[in-house]
Amino acid sequence: PKVRTLNPVSLLVTHDFPLTKQQVASIAEVVGASEERYASVSRFLTSKLPDGFPVQSTIPLFHALSATISFTQCNFDTIPDSVFEVPDYGPKVLPDPPSLSASRHSSS
């Protein structure tokens, strides 16, 4: 059998990224339940990586082709509390449907 060797994975790591490996791995794990490529991201992030968040990874695919994954910007926008408020429309009493009203009156 022919043995192929590929260049090793290149990894850039930072300790100043606002997300952790575990947070992204947890999201990828949930999404990975229906999409295998996200499950592989979760496995990658939970493998033996150095401390910090991997902001760039270059993975060899073939001898002349590699894939680079980068996290270049991460922003946390503040969501106003009003987005999560449920409006109070007061109690609503709906009349019985006609078929139910007729059966109640006929049984008495």
For 48-106, how does the pLDDT look when each residue is reduced to its tens digit (9 = 90+)?
Answer: 777 888 888 887 777 788 888 887 777 777 888 888 888 877 777 777 777 765 555 55
Report how far residue 91's alpha carbon sits from residue 11's, in angstroms, rounded to the nearest whole number.
Answer: 58
**Residue 76: its pLDDT value, please?**
75
**Residue 73: its pLDDT value, please?**
76
**Residue 40: its pLDDT value, please?**
77
Report how far residue 36's alpha carbon sits from residue 32's, in angstroms, rounded to the nearest whole number.
Answer: 5
**Residue 65: its pLDDT value, please?**
83
Report how far residue 29's alpha carbon sits from residue 38's, in angstroms, rounded to the nearest whole number.
Answer: 7
pTM of the model: 0.48
| Pairing, β 10-14 against β 65-70 | unpaired
* pLDDT > 60? residue 108: no
